[in-house]
């Protein structure tokens, strides 16, 4: 499972992890910089600065950027350079259209194929933010991401998991874009408790309905900031 919420100290830990390749380490760190808007949309990626900051050579950085280009987080323009992909007004709607279909499919498959180990892991994530009364935005974002990735893994379809992981990263960048106005969306994140209950019961219809509602709520909240439209209180 790849987490996007990487602090400065965690970045160093990633680089020192013997089980993580240099290319993978570069990918994780640069990915987080883009998603968290530390590297602003439309900005030029300075490979020399990244090599100096991360203490890595040209090859791991280039391999990471190629991978991020496939995930539409960077745009490589021949003879001009590499740029952080812009955030467009159409992104939210198109991402939501894709995620509403694929997240529902993942939830249904997770009901069929998920194990108690998956659900214990998800419960631990939710117990932490519920019992500790966590309100920190980064912690809520990390919890939401963890819950989604557990569902993707439980669905046991690597093609679906890879696609949803890429779509989630693009959606997460929109969350960071709107973060100052909508915060960590604690109640929206805690919807995962009801989703977990449905998954444990292998209730496909309920899990599908709840995950669809969850994605729609996220869409409405982000839309209220990105498009200046009021957030809908309706759930699909």
Which residue ranges make up each domain of the chain? Answer: 8-84, 91-226
pLDDT (0 to 100) of residue 118: 98
Largest interatomic CA distance in the chain: 55
pLDDT (0 to 100) of residue 232: 47
Q: Give the global pTM.
A: 0.84
pLDDT (0 to 100) of residue 139: 85
Fold match, 8-84 / 91-226: no
Low-confidence ranges of the chain (pLDDT < 50): 1-5, 7, 9, 232-236
pLDDT (0 to 100) of residue 189: 86
Mutual orientation of helices 137-155 and 91-113 as an angle, nearest 10°?
50
The answer to whether the beta carbons of residues 4 and 36 sit under 8 Å apart is yes
Domain 91-226 CATH (choose: 1.20.120.530, 1.10.10.60, 3.40.1000.10, 3.40.605.10):
1.20.120.530
Q: Which residues are within 8 A (CB) of 146 and not within 5 positions of it... i.e. 6 or more apart?
A: 1, 3, 122, 125
Determine the Cα–Cα distance for residues 163 and 71; give it in Å rounded to an integer. 9
User: Which of 72, 102, 79, 76 shows the shortest CA–CA distance to 172?
Assistant: 72
pLDDT (0 to 100) of residue 137: 83
pLDDT (0 to 100) of residue 159: 97
pLDDT (0 to 100) of residue 102: 98
pLDDT (0 to 100) of residue 28: 93
Domain 8-84: which CATH class? mainly alpha
pLDDT (0 to 100) of residue 180: 77
Three-class secondary structure assignment of the chain:
CCCCCCCHHHHHHHHHCCCCCHHHHHHHHHHHHHHCCCCCCCCECCHHHHHHHHCCCHHHHHHHHHHHHHCCCEEEECCCEEEECCCCCCHHHHHHHHHHHHHHHHHHHHHHHCCHHHHHHHHHHHHHHHHCCCCCHHHHHHHHHHHHHHHHHHHCCHHHHHHHHHHHHHHHHHHHHHHHHHCCCHHHHCCHHHHHHHHHCCCHHHHHHHHHHHHHHHHHHHHHHHCCCCCCCCCC
């Amino acid at each position: 499972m790849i987490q996007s919420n990487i602090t400065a100290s965690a970045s160093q830990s990633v680089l020192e992890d013997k089980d993580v390749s240099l290319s993978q380490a570069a990918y994780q760190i640069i990915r987080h910089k883009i998603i968290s808007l530390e590297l602003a949309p439309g900005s030029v990626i300075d490979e020399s600065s990244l090599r100096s900051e991360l203490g890595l050579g040209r090859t791991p950085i280039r391999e990471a950027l190629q991978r991020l280009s496939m995930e539409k987080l960077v745009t490589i323009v021949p003879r001009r350079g590499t740029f952080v992909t812009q955030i467009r007004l159409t992104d939210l709607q198109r991402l939501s259209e894709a995620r509403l279909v694929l997240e529902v499919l993942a939830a249904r498959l997770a009901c069929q194929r998920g194990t108690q180990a998956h659900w214990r892991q998800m419960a631990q994530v939710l117990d932490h933010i519920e019992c500790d009364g966590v309100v920190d935005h980064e912690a809520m974002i990390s919890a939401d991401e963890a819950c989604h990735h557990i569902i993707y893994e439980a669905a046991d379809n690597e093609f679906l998991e890879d696609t949803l992981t890429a779509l989630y990263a693009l959606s997460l960048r929109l969350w960071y874009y709107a973060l100052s106005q909508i915060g960590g969306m604690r109640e929206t994140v805690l919807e995962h408790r009801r989703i977990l209950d449905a998954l444990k019961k292998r209730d496909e219809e309920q899990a599908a309905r709840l995950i669809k509602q969850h994605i729609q709520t996220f869409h409405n909240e982000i839309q209220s900031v990105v498009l200046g439209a009021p957030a809908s209180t309706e759930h699909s």
